[in-house]
Structure 1
Amino acid sequence: MFGGGAMLRLICSAILGAALALPAAAWGKTGHRIIGEVAQSYLSEPAAEAVEEILGAEGLAEAADWPDYMRSNPDTFWRSEANPWHYVTIPQGMTYEETTAPEGGDAITALEKFRALAVDPNASLEDRQLALRFIVHLVGDLHQPLHAGNGTDRGGNWVEVVFFDQISNLHEVWDEKLIQYEELSFSEWAKWLEQKITPDQMSEWASARPAEWADESAAIRDTIYPENQILSYDYAYMARPILNEQMSKGGVRLAAYLNRMFEPQADTSAIE
């Protein structure tokens, strides 16, 4: 009834239709944990103490994926209200500062809100835990290039591709499949990244603010759309240096963000 090509398109459409009904994550579990693990190594003493006070034995790597895990919760907060906080939209040729955040907020406005809540001494421990987990997660989100979407294709979710014979979409490839392809645990990859981060890179990366992180991701985003739908060794080869740098930046910047946030009498305007 169907030719081979028609059957492939039918299967592809069915799978993608199911996938697009679900909210998009970023980096997947492993990528988020890599960023959290890198950041843990660079926390200042006050920040490390504050993180332990709020999260207890739960470190940054464990906390990093929690907001994505909670998106399976049927509560309206997780299924609707919190969904737009995982990304920003920056049309091609624009910067974040030239855009207007949607009414429901985005990753950067949510980061500002949760920063204030995490350091509020009058907030409940439960609320501060939620805030800190979101901060850890959203810093990671902002370093996934397709979470600075161009506003036309749901951050690459509508870009159908085949990755090493697996039907997928460009967003999923960058969230998970490129990382899974390397067959490394989050702790192995984090260790390798930390060994290569130089003092000059730490200084340069830590000075950037969230809007600049988003602009960097948008600039990368515009270079990673493939010329054809079949992705294999050449694409993985191109992507790995980008993955390494973005996760390294994410870890260093998460630590710098928390260090400034929890510094006694900190000037938090430096991280807005």
Structure 2
Amino acid sequence: MPNHPVRTLVRLQLVAAAVSSASPAAAYWEYGHETVAKIAYASVRPATRARLDRLLRHGDLLGTPECPVVDIASASTWADCIKPLKGADGKPRFGYAYNWHFQDVDICKPFDLATPCKDGNCLSAQIVAQQARLKNRRLRRADRVQALAFLVHFVGDLSQPLHAGEHDDQGANKVKASYGLIAGRANLHAIWDGYLAERAISTPPSGVRGLLRATSRAERRAMIVGGVTEWSRDSWRVSHDIAYGTLFADPCAPLPAERPVMNEAMVKHLIPPARRQVVAGGLRLAKLLDAALAR
């Protein structure tokens, strides 16, 4: 991956935020979100891509010059970039969207979206809401551009299993874990957000074409079956079986006293499912974008 100074600075800031915060809203870091978005952009119908380009030319309407949106990659990280922005009253300008980045679905109970999403302030509910806003051509262009940026980001978040399933631990932000020699304040959420995601995405065959070529047509078709509820259940299952299950024999048992270490053997075992989540996220996003914009 080429070393771009601005992106390197942003990534370092996100690393620091993810490993120092217990917030479940830290999200998939730059590389994961951008890759999901680029897979979607490569997979949508030509008419959808043309309409995306037209909307993305108006990123300045968002009124966030600190967080520019000029293409689908920059749109994919906008919802994280705006978190620290303050309004004239000194309060978070986009504080209302804080809970939209995750959903507290317990991996140790039967799958249930109704309870955590009862007020609409959860990840899956907002994916549905933002797709509807994007589709509504009666809305102002600024509102549709914002809906696009939120939608692209939130589908990326849903692809990260610890945004879709947790065990009363803020999406595993409270689960201290080491990624090889990286310990300190690292946790299981940060590992899946960044370290593991970047390793998985960059493992050859890498890039959008590489990731798609490594996924069979039958696998790609299976990934997009259903809708947001089914995809939420899928990520929730991956959270239990793989994200927690690789580190803990019983993901629902009390945490061990000793910090678990994700060693190289575990990482190699996790690369295929982590790559699968990224590809699935991109293809699912493409399906939602086609439904909203292709006509």
Report the aligned-residue RMSD: 2.7
Closer, same or farther: CA 170–56 of 1 in aligned 2, 3 Å: same
Conservation of the 8 A alpha-carbon contact between 2:56 and 2:71: yes
Distance 1:241 1:260 in 2: 29
Q: 2:264 matched to 1:233?
A: yes
Contact kept, 8 Å, 1:28 with 1:175, in 2: the verdict is yes
TM-score for the superposition, normalised by structure 2: 0.76
Q: 1:174 offset after TM fit, Å?
A: 0.2
Aligned pair 1:204/2:222, yes or no? yes
Give deviations 1:105-125, integer Å, cap 9, x for gaps. 101111122122212223222
Q: After TM superposition, list the pairs within 5 Å mapping 1:242-253 onto structure 2.
A: 242-253=273-284
Equivalences, count: 250
CA distance in 2, matches of 1:78, 1:214: 28
Please point out which of 131, 135, 140 is paired with 1:124: 140
Q: Which residue of 1 aligns with 2:33?
A: 32
Show structure 1 runs of 5+ residues with no match.
1-14, 265-272
Question: Contact 1:42/1:252 (CA < 8 Å) preserved in 2?
Answer: yes
- Structure 1 residues 68 and 233: CA distance shift in structure 2, 3 A: same
Say yes or no: does 1:88 pair with 2:74: no
Superposed CA offset, 1:199-245 (max 9, x none): 22232222221111111111111122213512220221121011111
Which residue identity lines up with residue 252 of structure 1 in the other structure?
L
Asked if structure 1 preserves the Cα contact closer than 8 Å seen for 2:179 and 2:191, the reply is yes
Check 1:183–1:208 CA distance in 2 against 1; reply closer, same or farther (3 A cut): closer
Q: For residue 157 of structure 2, what is the aligned residue in structure 1? A: 141
Is the Cα–Cα contact under 8 Å of residues 199 and 271 in structure 2 kept in the other structure?
no
Q: How many angstroms apart in 2 are the aligned matches of 1:50 and 1:94?
A: 40
Please name the residue that 1:3 is paired with. none
Contact 1:161-1:230 within 8 A present in 2 as well? yes
Paired residues of 1:148 and 1:217 also in contact (CA < 8 A): yes
Residue identity matched to 2:161: P
Q: Equivalent residues in 2 for 1:104-119 (5 A)?
A: 105-119=121-135
Q: How far is 1:69 from its partner?
A: 1.1
Which residue pairs with 2:235 in the alignment? 217
Aligned with 1:72 (options 84, 89, 92) = 84
Aligned equivalents of 1:44, 1:94: Cα separation in 2: 37
Matched AA of 1:72: P
| Structure 2, gaps ≥5 residues long | 1-15, 59-69, 249-258
Structure 1 residues 129 and 145 mapped into 2: Cα distance closer, same or farther (>3 Å)? same
In structure 2, distance between residues paired with 1:87 and 1:200: 29
2:72 alignment partner in structure 1: 60
Normalised by the length of structure 1, the TM-score is: 0.82
Identify the range of structure 1 (60-69 vs 70-79) with the bigger mean alpha-carbon deviation.
70-79
Q: Is 2:30–2:77's contact at 8 Å kept on the other side of the alignment?
A: yes
Alignment CA distance shift 1:16-1:194 (3 Å): closer
- % identical equivalent positions: 24
Which residue of structure 2 aligns with residue 177 of structure 1?
A: 195
Cα distance in 2 for residues equivalent to 1:205 and 1:72:
34
Partner in structure 2 of residue 9 of structure 1: none
Distance in 1 (alpha carbons) for counterparts of 2:41 and 2:128: 21
Give the drift of 1:16.
9.7
CA shift at 1:38, angstroms? 0.8
**Structure 1 or 2: more helix by fraction:** 1
TM-superposed deviation, 1:34:
0.8
Q: 1:62 to 1:188 in 2, by over 3 A?
A: farther
